[in-house]
Amino acid sequence: MSWWCADQATLYFENMRVPTENLMGEENLGFVAIMEYFNLERVALIAGALGMMRVGLAESIDWAQARQTFGQPLIRHQVIRHKIADMSARIDAVEAYLNQICWSVNSGDMPIAEICKAKFFATKALEFCTSEAMQVLGGVGYLRGHPVERIYWEVKVMAIGGGSEEIMRDLAVRQMGL
Inform me whether the pLDDT recorded for 96 exceeds 80: yes
Share of the chain above pLDDT 90, in %: 80
Instruction: Look at residue 109 and tell me whether its pLDDT is greater than 70.
Output: yes
Q: Which long-range contacts (CB under 8 A, 24 or more apart) does 147-155 make?
A: 147/55, 147/56, 147/59, 148/55, 148/56, 148/59, 148/60, 151/52, 151/55, 151/56, 151/126, 153/1, 153/2, 154/2, 154/3, 154/52, 155/123, 155/126, 155/127, 155/130
Per-residue pLDDT, 78: 97
pLDDT, position 4: 65
Contact 101, 118 (CB under 8 A): yes
Specify the pLDDT at position 64. Answer: 98
In this model, does residue 130 exceed pLDDT 90?
yes
116/45 Cα distance (integer angstroms): 11
Identify the structural domains of the chain with CATH numbers, from first to last. Answer: 40-175 (1.20.140.10)
C-alpha distance across the termini of the chain, in Å: 36
pLDDT, tens only, 21-38 = 998 888 888 888 888 889
Q: How far is CA 30 from CA 23, 27, 33, 36, 175, in A?
A: 10, 7, 5, 10, 21
Give the span between the Cα atoms of 16 and 175, in whole angstroms. 35
pLDDT for position 1? 62
Q: What is the per-residue pLDDT across 39-74, written as a single tens digit (0 to 9) for each?
A: 999 999 999 999 999 999 999 999 999 999 999 999
**Average pLDDT of the segment spanning 1-19:** 79
Residue 31: the pLDDT is 85
Q: Are strands 68-69 and 72-73 parallel, antiparallel or unpaired?
A: antiparallel
**Per-residue model confidence (pLDDT) at position 5:** 66
DSSP state at residue 164: -
Instruction: Identify the three-state secondary structure at position 142.
Output: helix
